[in-house]
A and B are shown apart, each in its own frame.
Chain A
Amino acid sequence: MMRLNLTRWIAALHLGVCFLVSNASAQEKPFRPEAGKFPPLAQAHGFRGELTFVDHANRRGSLRIQGEGNYFRNAPHPFAMLPYGVIRYQGAQAGLRDIPIGTVLHARGFLPPDPKLSSVPVLPVNNRNKTAGYSGKGIAPAENHLILLEDEPSFCQREGKVWKLQEVELQNFAGKIVARREPKIGGTKAEEETLTFDAATRIWRGREKLEVADLIADGIWPASGKKALKDQAVLLGITWKPTPSNIFTRFHISDIWLDDVAMQRAAHNQTETHKAFIRTRWMPGWIDAVEYGKFGTATITATLFGGMDESLYADFKKGAHAQMNAVESNLKHTHGAYSPAHMASKGQILEVTKIKGEIPLGSSGIQIHFKTDLIIEGIRPGRNIRVRPSHWPNVNIPREEYLGDNNPLERFPSPAIFPRY
Chain B
Amino acid sequence: MKHTLPLLAAFVALLTPLFAEDSPFRPEPGKFPPLEKAHSYQGELTFVDHTNRRGSIRIQGNGRFRFTGPSPFAMLPYGMVRYHDAPADLRDIPLGTVMHVQAYLPPDLKISSVPILPVENRLKKLGNAGIGTAPAENHVLLLEDEPSHCRRHGLVWKLQEITINRHAGFIIARRESKAGDGQAHEETLTFDAATRIWRGRERLGAQQPPFSPIRSGPKAASKPFRQKQFPSSNRLHSAAAR
Contact = CB atoms under 8 A, between A and B. Distances in A.
B95 A208 contact: no
Given A268-B205, A399-B67, A400-B70, A261 B239 contact: yes
29 contacts: A55-B47, A56-B95, A100-B91, A208-B203, A209-B201, A209-B202, A210-B201, A214-B201, A261-B239, A261-B242, A264-B240, A264-B241, A268-B241, A268-B242, A270-B194, A272-B193, A273-B194, A275-B193, A275-B194, A276-B194, A396-B64, A396-B66, A397-B66, A398-B46, A399-B66, A399-B70, A400-B46, A400-B69, A400-B70
Interface in A391-411: 396-400
A209 B91 contact: no
Given A208-B201, A209-B201, A398-B46, A54 B66 contact: no
B96 interface: yes
B58 interface: yes
Contacts of B48: 54, 101
Nearest to A274: B194
Contacts of B92: 100
Interface string B145-157: 0000000000000
Contacts of B35: none
B94 interface: yes
B49 interface: yes
Contacts of B64: 396
Interface string A377-421: 000000000000000000011111000000000000000000000
Interface size on A, as a range, is: 20 to 34
Given A55-B47, A101-B50, A398-B46, A269 B205 contact: yes
Interface in B81-106: 91-92, 94-96
A210 B91 CA distance: 22
Nearest to A269: B194
Given A97-B96, A209-B198, A398-B46, 15 more contacts: A53-B49, A55-B47, A57-B47, A100-B92, A100-B94, A261-B242, A264-B240, A268-B237, A268-B241, A272-B192, A276-B193, A276-B194, A396-B64, A398-B66, A400-B69
Interface string B26-64: 000000000000000000001111110000001000001
Nearest to B90: A101
Interface size on B, as a range, is: 35 or more
Given A207-B203, A398-B46, A272 B66 contact: no
A102 interface: yes
B119 interface: no
B204 interface: yes
Interface in B187-242: 192-194, 196, 198, 201-205, 208, 237, 239-242
Nearest to A417: B49
B138 interface: no
A219 B177 CA distance: 40
Interface in A322-345: none
B46 to A, nearest CB: 6
Contact of A399 (B51, B69, B94, B192): B69
Contacts of A276: 192-194
A265 B68 contact: no
Contact of A207 (B94, B167, B193, B204): B204
Interface in A81-115: 97-98, 100-102
Contacts of B198: 209
A368 B185 CA distance: 47
Contact of B242 (A52, A97, A264): A264
Contacts of A275: 193-194
Contacts of B194: 269-270, 272-273, 275-276
Nearest to A205: B201
Interface string A49-65: 00011111100000000
Which of B69, B92, B237, B242 is most buried by chain A, counting CB atoms within 10 A of its CB? Answer: B242
A271 B114 CA distance: 35
Contacts of A210: 201
Nearest to A339: B66
A264 B239 CA distance: 9
B20 to A, nearest CB: 38
Interface in B63-77: 64, 66-70
A2 B209 CA distance: 98
A210 B95 CA distance: 24
B133 to A, nearest CB: 10
Contacts of B203: 207-209, 265
A22 B51 CA distance: 48
Q: 9 closest A-B pairs (Cβ-Cβ)?
A: A272-B194, A272-B193, A273-B194, A101-B91, A97-B95, A396-B66, A399-B69, A268-B242, A208-B201
A399 B95 CA distance: 15
B234 to A, nearest CB: 18
B95 A54 contact: yes
Interface in A261-303: 261, 264-265, 268-270, 272-273, 275-276
